[in-house]
Amino acid sequence: MIQTSPEALFTEREQRFFAAEERQANRYRWVGWLRLSFFVGSVLGCAVLFYYGHNGIGLSLLFGGYFVFATLIHWHNKIEYARKHQLYLGLINRRENERLRGELAGFPSGEEFQELNHYYTADLDVFGDTSLFQLLNRAVTRLGQQRLAEWLKAPASAAEIVARQETVAELVPDLEWRQNLEARAMHHHRKTQQLPQPFLLWLKTPDFFAGKSWLVALTFLLPLLTIGAAIYWGQGHSHYPFLGLVLIQFLIAYKFQQERDAYYEESTGMYETLRSYTDLLVHIEGRTFQSQKALELQKQLKIDDQQASEHVRKLASIIQFLSARLNTYLNFLLNHMLMWDFIWMWRLERWKKTMSENIGQVLSAAAEFEALASLAAFQYANPDYAVPKISAVPFQFDTQELSHPLIFSEGRKANSIAFKGAGHTVLITGSNMSGKSTFLRAVGVNMVLAFTGAVVCASRATVFPGQVYTSMRTEDNLAENTSSFYAELKRLKILLDLTVTGQPVYFFLDEILKGTNSHDRHQGAMALIRQLHQRQASGFVSTHDLELGNMEQELPGSVQNYSFNSYFEDGQLHFDYTLRPGICQSFNASQLMRQMGIEL
| Same domain? 236 vs 377 | yes
Query: How many domains, the chain?
Result: 3
Radius of gyration of the chain (CA): 33
Give the span between the Cα atoms of 118 and 491, in whole angstroms: 10
Of the candidates 350, 381, 412, which is a domain's last residue?
381
Let me know whether 271 and 200 are in one domain: yes
374/459 same-domain check = no
**CATH number of the domain residue 434 falls in:** 3.40.50.300
Q: Is residue 150 part of a domain?
A: no
Give the span between the Cα atoms of 111 and 118, in whole angstroms. 13
- Indicate the pairing of strand 505-509 with strand 397-402: unpaired
Whether residue 194 is found in the same domain as residue 296: yes
User: CA 322, 325, 326 angle in degrees (round to 5)?
Assistant: 115
- The domain boundary, picked from 353, 381, 409, lies at 381
Identify any residues that bridge with 542 across adjacent strands, giving them in sequence order.
428
Query: Is 454 domain-assigned?
Result: yes
Task: Please list the pLDDT of the chain residue by residue as tens digits (600 residues).
Answer: 446 899 999 999 999 999 999 999 999 899 889 888 888 888 888 888 877 877 778 778 777 877 888 888 888 889 999 999 999 999 999 999 999 999 999 899 999 999 988 999 999 999 999 999 999 999 999 999 999 999 999 999 999 999 999 999 999 999 999 999 999 999 887 766 666 666 677 777 777 888 888 988 988 898 899 888 888 887 888 888 888 988 998 898 888 888 888 877 777 777 777 777 888 899 999 999 999 999 999 999 988 878 888 887 887 777 777 777 766 667 777 888 888 888 888 888 888 787 777 788 888 999 999 999 999 999 999 999 999 999 999 999 999 999 999 999 877 899 999 999 999 999 998 877 778 899 999 999 999 999 999 999 999 999 999 999 999 876 645 444 456 777 888 888 999 999 998 899 999 998 887 766 777 778 888 899 999 999 999 999 998 888 888 899 998 989 999 998 876 666 666 778 889 999 887 665 556 555 555 555
Tell whether 332 and 417 lie within a shared domain: no
Whether residue 367 lies inside any domain: the answer is yes
Pair (487, 570) in one structural domain: yes
Residue 376 sits in the same domain as residue 457: no
Residue 420 contacts residue 398 (beta carbons within 8 Å): yes
Side chain identity, residue 410: E
Domain hosting 271: range is: 184-381
Last residue of a domain, one of 53, 68, 101: 101
Residue 134 lies in a domain: no
- The candidate with the shortest Cα–Cα distance to 20, out of 73, 82, 102, is 82
Length of the chain: 600
Pinpoint the alpha helices (H) of 302-453: 308-322, 328-337, 340-355, 359-381, 436-452
